[in-house]
Structure 1
Amino acid sequence: MAVPKQKSSKARGRKRRTHYKTSAPTVGVCPECQEPKLPHTACPECGAYKDRNVSTIDDEE
């Protein structure tokens, strides 16, 4: 089994991890109300998903 001869410094480990970055989420536009929304989710404004209303909040009103 391979064992390191020397201790890895904090700087060396941090240099290796510089590419571990998060990216901004992809934001689409709702085809019904033109509000921004995440892909593959129901619109938080109008409740539309795949050309139909799926929110239960609008059904009670």
Structure 2
Amino acid sequence: MAVPKRRMSRSNTRSRRSQWKATAPHLVECSNRACRKPKPPHVACPNCGQYDGRQVIAPA
């Protein structure tokens, strides 16, 4: 296992950590014509409860 021989400087540590960015979640609109709310892809709509044109969960 690799073990660093020297301590990494604060500027190097911070410049490396500056590349860690959170990405916004990708959203698509619900396929239900009455709903059309944004939802994550490949997930049942939390608003109307439909997935792929079928009712899969009770609407909220």
* TM norm structure 1: 0.75
Runs of 4 or more, structure 1, over 6 Å off, are none
Unmatched 5+ stretches in structure 2: none
Unaligned runs of 5+ in 1: none
Identify the structure with the greater helix proportion. 1
Answer with 1 or 2: which has the greater Rg.
Answer: 1
Query: For residues 1-61 of structure 1, what are the structure 2 equivalents within 5 Å?
Result: 3-4=4-5, 6-32=6-32, 33-55=35-57, 57-58=58-59
TM norm structure 2 = 0.76
Question: Once superposed, what is the RMSD of the aligned Cα atoms?
Answer: 1.8
